[in-house]
Structure 1
Amino acid sequence: MSRRIAFRSLVMLACMLFQLACAQGTTPAWVPADLAAKLNQAAATSYDNQIVTDITYYQNAIAGLDTSNATVAARTFLLKEKVLIMYKEYNRSKTRYVANDFSFNSAYGTLKSDMNRMLTRLQAGQDPAAGIAGMLLARATWIDSFYFNNTTEKYEPVIVKYDLIIPNGYNPSTPAPLMVSHKDSPSETLVKQTPYVLIRNYQVPDEFKLVRSDAKTRAVLIDVSKVVHISPFRIYSTGYSFGGKTTYNMAWNNVHWFAAIVPLDADLCTSDDYFFEDCMYMQNVPTHIGHAVNDAFLSCGIAVYNAMYTAGNPVDSFHFPGGHDVDVPYRQDLSLVTDFFDQYTMHPYPKEVHHIVECTKWPRAFWVEAITSYNVVCGTDAVFRVFAQANNLIEIVQADTPITGFILYLNDHLVNMGQNVTVVYGTDTLYTGAASDTLAVTVRSGAQIRNPYRERLPLWEEVDSISRVVFGSSPDVPSGWGQPYPPSNGSQVEHAVLDGEMMRLHVYPNPFNPAVMISAGVRCIAPLRVMIYDISGRMVTDLTTRMSNGRATWDASSQPSGIYIVKARIGKQVLTKPVTLMK
């Protein structure tokens, strides 16, 4: 007994010494100060003692990596991000892993396994994101806390574990399509024979809190985009039973996430009246409804199909042998799902946007964001319909109460940014003037509230930015749904023409630490503005007054590691470029 007590005392002493070292400033510079300060507190549980030990181990291992190796230097951020999750988890109650979260032990064990795989690769001078074709990777990420309805229904942050299946033919030089499956999932063997990456098992099945599923799905997709080269325009969703229902829900709340969906044997019933109304607002989400011929929910699936078809949605249906199961499409013939996906690529700038704001956490559809007079409790649905017409006319056809205004995110795929734009609502002209990439209009009197937990940057834009930094490329915006006007806005390209002179946005080095040189590459024949934004869309700093001859240096010493967006504007032209700060 005395030996056991002595050993425990040594462990506690080691943890205290480590915490003291952190307080004295030996914590790595890439750890934000607020997280480092957490370790000044004594460990609350044996789990937290282990976290301190693990943090020490991984930080020492990172410090010992050969950063003269360009691959190691460029990819170490993948491991650093996971260490920061350990800091975030430290001294949080482990009982908050409830309902359909995986347990702390399970999630934390997966996190460490994932980190060990990446560390082994980095220690060998290899890219953790390379050589993964044909693999099943168990990974973990973090979901931050948020309030669903502003001040009620708080969701605590947790570690989210998930499975990632990589097809046999995956090549990181080419963006791959990706499927997310809810509840049940396609056979690993069948998935590996397709070009599709698959995300599965990100929560215990039958999650009845959609907002939690929504947040987890987005966090996992962002995490995946850092290790797998995925196309931001070819992300798809499928699910079985309640997972099929989740597939519908997530698609109408986030219509710009998925290029197409295939809900299977969706767990619907005639009492789900809201379902038949909400699914009518998916004109931009091609839907392939599947039910087994003896499925108890087949009649409800037919009713949903009829509602969507009548509303003019791109929908079709198919049936397969079986009862309430998906053995045929998920374990025998996956082409029933993937052949449909193959037909569709998401275009982020549709000329018509039709959306139902089920809750104010989901106010945005593509380039249109609704502002409401109060927080919309789920079930108090507000519908809007907005068109980008010819002649630089934006027409708001529908804006239900409590919508009081909109933020319109414009670019040359929608209007000619070099000319004036007009916004109308019914017989009222809300705005006439210079086109802006962020244009606010008011449709009726009342308060204008924006949910602080809404999506700040569309999923496809965040995936696109990460792909350009990590893999050096990302597919261009798909053609077919609104060809761009002659480029007066370069937000999707790296150059534009200004009065006969080519403007280019240069950043060097990229990745950087702690300073980066920014150059517009053009003589300032018009006022030049340069701003830095974080990945959530918050402006970090305005470099405008520091620009000299079209150049400035940004010192990011006080900022945490991560992806930032450099935005340069000259006249009507706007260029953006992602940069990565890796401390």
Structure 2
Amino acid sequence: MRKTISLSMFICAVFCACIAAQTITPSSWVPSNLGTKISQNAVTATDAQIRTYIDAYQKGIDTLDQELDIVKRCLPALKENVFILYREYNQNHSRSQYESPDFSVTECLDWLQQDMGFYLTRLAQGINPDLAMKGAWRPKTYWLPEWEIMGRYDAIVPTAYNAQLSWPLILSTQGNPDIAQIKNTPYILACCMKKGYQNNDTKEQAKNKAILLDMAYDFNIDPLRLFATGFSKGGQQSLKLGIRYPDWYAGIIAPHHDLLMANFPVQWEALMDLITIPTLIVHSPADGYFEDTTFHYMLLNGCPVQWVNDGNGHTADWIFEDHIDSLVAFCDTITMNPFPKKIRHTVEHKRYSRAYWTNMHAMADEGMIDARYEVEVIDTHLIEIRLLKNAAKVQGFDFYLSSDLIDMTAPLVVVCAGDTVYNAMPMFRTSISLQTGPTNIHANIVLLLWQQIDNIRRTTFGTNTQVEEAVLAASHTGPVLSAWPNPFNPAVTISLGVVGSIVQTHVYDISGRMVTDLTKRMVNGLVTWDASAQPSGVYVVRATVNGRVYTTQMTLMK
């Protein structure tokens, strides 16, 4: 019978040796700038613990059979955990960067130790960790470079998980969908629970991004099927993320959110920008944070938004506990189109200048820019810019163009307020100047989050055509007319999987009488119809695209 040594025994043995030798040499794969301080003796007990982990995990990694494919796949994540330890060891001993809402170093080290033990004990025996991943809870850690601190989160893996396929992911920032139920769905769940309320939006956003990038190395996630949710303040943060980084998430679920117009006037107004992100609001007049104006405001501005009145007070139980199937059904219908033909975006601050393939240049680097624009591809040779708010603060744009948007082989015309501001051959990065001023006041984002995750996915799990297929599905061919939820009350989102074409969309009752014309309200193939004024019954949606007619039935149940 083969004898194995547990990782804890291995660490203990290394610790004893470390105390005696007091010397740790960085492995050859550790960047030289990280290893400069490791030769210094530990000052605190926490430093000693980190130092011990570094030595143990380096040796554990170096003794693996690195010719095995599964070891090769796991190495980047394992090495990153060691790099996190080096970075933490290199910090000041007071660890003053950690704030009350952050998990402490000790709490993060506990998660990292469990994570490394899970992988190293299996890989040392040539066992694929994926076999133990199905339906598992996985403790994970990450590094937040802007604040130079560790963080931790929980990953919940579907029981059917197969690393050879790409899986959708739901990230929850406060409260979670029921874990026992979510395991039986196709969705990986990232639980980003915290110890207290994080009132620094920039830090919270950076944490979410760091978690998603960290997960991409461990799990084969679909970069175009990421969803944000969270109860109360978590719903507020999810909506803010959608406003500020519209190309991060395919959809948003905001149960009993507290993004109120009086408290967040700039962000509340910017909810009108969510024309590319299907949003599910679960709320009730029984909740003191409820404002029915939010749903109607978004609906009026062409956002694909749904409102479910769960009849509850301030709780997310309806969607997170009692109706997980509704959450899953909402997400099942959505894949992000990374190249929408129409974009509406508010740039609060220069860090939020990028939205999909558009990047706005501000005239001045100020705390609150609050400029809003629309950019629309009118046809394959024409793009229109519309400045909707604080136009004087907009210097110009960069457009990151491709054949998914326009004809790259012919001259492109860009117009703004009736003036032609560009008339030349398009380039991958086409710069548009609207007024004389600096051209460097923007976020300088080149690769979007979905592109970063897709690059990791292809490198770690192998190339596939997930993104290409999604882009093709959002093109002009093969439209599919759908309505969700169905049955519905009082609003339903109608989707026609077609972007860039004129779509004649009408709703009829069962007798054939036209109830409403939704043609002018459809944006990026999506439109939401509020049937509050209509009686219960069966309705028919009729959409006409390029002479072809598509129909589907939906039921209003009051």
The equivalent of 1:204 in structure 2 is 195
The equivalent of 2:226 in structure 1 is 235
Amino acid at match of 1:282: L
Q: Please state if 1:60 is matched with 2:49.
A: no
User: Residue 389 of structure 1 is aligned with which of 370, 378, 393?
Assistant: 378
Amino acid at match of 1:46: A
Q: Please state if 1:256 is matched with 2:247.
A: yes
Following TM superposition, by how much is the alpha carbon of 1:451 offset from its aligned partner in structure 2, in angstroms?
4.6
Amino acid at match of 1:80: K
Q: Please state if 1:276 is matched with 2:268.
A: yes
Q: Which runs of 5+ in 1 are unaligned?
A: 1-7, 146-155, 485-583
Do the aligned partners of 1:160 and 1:203 also contact (CA within 8 Å) in 2? no
Q: 1:169-188 alignment to 2 at 5 Å?
A: 169-188=160-179
Q: Give secondary structure in 1 for the equivalent of 2:248.
A: coil
State how far apart, in whole Å, the 2-side matches of 1:95 and 1:108 are.
Answer: 17
The equivalent of 2:508 in structure 1 is none
Deviation string 1:148-205 (CA, Å, 9 cap, x unpaired) is xxxxxxxx22111001111112222221111111211111111012111111134335
State how far apart, in whole Å, the 2-side matches of 1:373 and 1:45 are.
Answer: 49
Q: Please state if 1:355 is matched with 2:334.
A: no
State how far apart, in whole Å, the 1-side matches of 2:166 and 2:451 are.
Answer: 15
State how far apart, in whole Å, the 1-side matches of 2:117 and 2:429 are.
Answer: 43
State how far apart, in whole Å, the 2-side matches of 1:230 and 1:91 are.
Answer: 32
User: Residue 302 of structure 2 is aligned with which of 303, 312, 326?
Assistant: 312
- Larger deviation: 264-273 or 113-122? 264-273
Q: Give secondary structure in 1 for the equivalent of 2:273.
A: coil
User: Residue 373 of structure 1 is aligned with which of 339, 354, 363?
Assistant: 363
User: Residue 226 of structure 1 is aligned with which of 217, 232, 245?
Assistant: 217
CA spacing shift, 1:483–1:84, aligned 2, 3 Å: farther
Q: Please state if 1:334 is matched with 2:341.
A: no
State how far apart, in whole Å, the 2-side matches of 1:264 and 1:234 are.
Answer: 19
CA spacing shift, 1:268–1:76, aligned 2, 3 Å: closer
TM-score, normalising length from structure 1?
0.74
User: Residue 396 of structure 2 is aligned with which of 382, 401, 405?
Assistant: 405
Q: 1:79-98 alignment to 2 at 5 Å?
A: 79-93=78-92, 94-98=95-99
Following TM superposition, by how much is the alpha carbon of 1:42 offset from its aligned partner in structure 2, in angstroms?
4.5
CA spacing shift, 1:130–1:373, aligned 2, 3 Å: farther
User: Residue 21 of structure 2 is aligned with which of 5, 14, 18?
Assistant: 14
Amino acid at match of 1:14: A
Q: Give secondary structure in 1 for the equivalent of 2:176.
A: coil
State how far apart, in whole Å, the 2-side matches of 1:259 and 1:50 are.
Answer: 41
Following TM superposition, by how much is the alpha carbon of 1:393 offset from its aligned partner in structure 2, in angstroms?
1.6
Q: Give secondary structure in 2 for the equivalent of 1:470.
A: helix
Following TM superposition, by how much is the alpha carbon of 1:334 offset from its aligned partner in structure 2, in angstroms?
0.8
State how far apart, in whole Å, the 2-side matches of 1:410 and 1:177 are.
Answer: 27
Do the aligned partners of 1:349 and 1:482 also contact (CA within 8 Å) in 2? no
The equivalent of 1:297 in structure 2 is 289
Deviation string 1:16-59 (CA, Å, 9 cap, x unpaired) is x22xxx4xxxx323111111223244534332222222111111
Deviation string 1:389-440 (CA, Å, 9 cap, x unpaired) is 2142222122733221211111110011222222222233333222211122
Deviation string 1:204-248 (CA, Å, 9 cap, x unpaired) is 353221111111111111111111111111111111111111111
Q: Please state if 1:161 is matched with 2:152.
A: yes
The equivalent of 1:418 in structure 2 is 409
CA spacing shift, 1:442–1:82, aligned 2, 3 Å: same
CA spacing shift, 1:447–1:395, aligned 2, 3 Å: same
* RMSD, aligned CA: 2.2
The equivalent of 2:105 in structure 1 is 104
CA spacing shift, 1:65–1:9, aligned 2, 3 Å: closer
State how far apart, in whole Å, the 2-side matches of 1:411 and 1:355 are.
Answer: 20
State how far apart, in whole Å, the 2-side matches of 1:39 and 1:450 are.
Answer: 39
State how far apart, in whole Å, the 2-side matches of 1:10 and 1:233 are.
Answer: 48
Do the aligned partners of 2:380 and 2:405 also contact (CA within 8 Å) in 1? no
State how far apart, in whole Å, the 1-side matches of 2:476 and 2:361 are.
Answer: 28
Following TM superposition, by how much is the alpha carbon of 1:351 offset from its aligned partner in structure 2, in angstroms?
0.5
Q: Please state if 1:471 is matched with 2:472.
A: no
The equivalent of 1:554 in structure 2 is none
Deviation string 1:116-173 (CA, Å, 9 cap, x unpaired) is 111112112233445411111111111111xxxxxxxxxx221110011111122222
CA spacing shift, 1:107–1:401, aligned 2, 3 Å: farther
Q: 1:24-43 alignment to 2 at 5 Å?
A: 27-43=26-42
Do the aligned partners of 1:72 and 1:126 also contact (CA within 8 Å) in 2? no
State how far apart, in whole Å, the 1-side matches of 2:149 and 2:172 are.
Answer: 20
State how far apart, in whole Å, the 2-side matches of 1:75 and 1:438 are.
Answer: 35
Q: Please state if 1:76 is matched with 2:69.
A: no
Amino acid at match of 1:188: I
CA spacing shift, 1:253–1:63, aligned 2, 3 Å: same
Tell me how many residue pairs correspond in the alignment.
455
The equivalent of 2:530 in structure 1 is none
User: Residue 336 of structure 2 is aligned with which of 346, 350, 361?
Assistant: 346
Do the aligned partners of 2:360 and 2:442 also contact (CA within 8 Å) in 1? no
The equivalent of 1:440 in structure 2 is 431
State how far apart, in whole Å, the 2-side matches of 1:129 and 1:232 are.
Answer: 20
The equivalent of 2:279 in structure 1 is 287
Q: Please state if 1:431 is matched with 2:456.
A: no
Following TM superposition, by how much is the alpha carbon of 1:362 offset from its aligned partner in structure 2, in angstroms?
1.3
Amino acid at match of 2:370: D
Q: Give secondary structure in 2 for the equivalent of 1:35.
A: coil
Q: Give secondary structure in 2 for the equivalent of 1:401.
A: helix
Deviation string 1:479-504 (CA, Å, 9 cap, x unpaired) is 343459xxxxxxxxxxxxxxxxxxxx
Deviation string 1:329-353 (CA, Å, 9 cap, x unpaired) is 1112212222111121100000011
The equivalent of 2:44 in structure 1 is 45
State how far apart, in whole Å, the 2-side matches of 1:46 and 1:293 are.
Answer: 52
Do the aligned partners of 1:413 and 1:483 also contact (CA within 8 Å) in 2? no
Q: Give secondary structure in 1 for the equivalent of 2:60.
A: helix
Q: Give secondary structure in 2 for the equivalent of 1:225.
A: helix
Q: Give secondary structure in 2 for the equivalent of 1:324.
A: coil
TM-score, normalising length from structure 2?
0.77
CA spacing shift, 1:445–1:192, aligned 2, 3 Å: same
Deviation string 1:250-286 (CA, Å, 9 cap, x unpaired) is 1111111111111011124452233431111111111
CA spacing shift, 1:205–1:181, aligned 2, 3 Å: farther
The equivalent of 1:481 in structure 2 is 474
Q: Give secondary structure in 1 for the equivalent of 2:33.
A: helix
Amino acid at match of 2:138: L
State how far apart, in whole Å, the 1-side matches of 2:403 and 2:476 are.
Answer: 8
Q: Please state if 1:141 is matched with 2:148.
A: no
Do the aligned partners of 1:121 and 1:128 also contact (CA within 8 Å) in 2? yes
